[in-house]
Amino acid sequence: MGRRGACRPRGAAALTRIAVTEAESAVLAALWRRGPLSAASLMEEVRSCQPWADATIKTLLHRLMQKGAVRSQKDDGRLRYHAVFDRQAYVEGEVQDLLDRLFDGKPDRLVALLADRLDL
């Protein structure tokens, strides 16, 4: 599973790249779908889409926290986890990575490929 770039807002408009693997993105997706979650609820939500053991999910969560992509906050005495950046910022970062890697950073080249493939 390859690393993917996500954007994280820092300050007013600056973006910092955070490398997110495909597996880590499944944990982020669970947080984007359901909002801040306890560890137990997060594991349940991830397992609804992935056949992973709790230890695997905890490892991915720990990695995301080390990278600064997920934070925890106490809420009524329980830790709840939330994504630091929203899904839109992540998608924009992924698309920019794709453009940079395969299309020399030029969106018109991607659009031309899509138009050709989809007969637009």
Backbone angles phi, psi at 13, to 5 degrees: -135, -10
Over residues 84-96, the pLDDT tens digits come to 999 999 999 899 9
More confidently predicted of 51 and 3 = 51
Q: Check residue 105 and give left, alpha or beta (phi > 0: left; psi -120 to 50: alpha).
A: left
H or E segment to which residue 12 belongs: none
Answer whether residue 97 is part of any domain: no
**Is 115 within a domain?**
no
Confidence of residue 13 (pLDDT cuts 50, 70, 90): very low
Residue range 98-110, pLDDT digits in tens: 999 999 999 999 9
66 in any annotated domain: yes
Which residues span the domain enclosing 61? 3-86
Q: Is the pTM of this model over 0.85?
A: no
Q: For the domain that residue 75 is a member of, what is the CATH number?
A: 1.10.10.10
- The angle subtended at Cα 7 by Cα 20 and Cα 102, nearest 5°, is 75
Total domains present in the chain: 1
Give the three-state DSSP class for 66.
helix
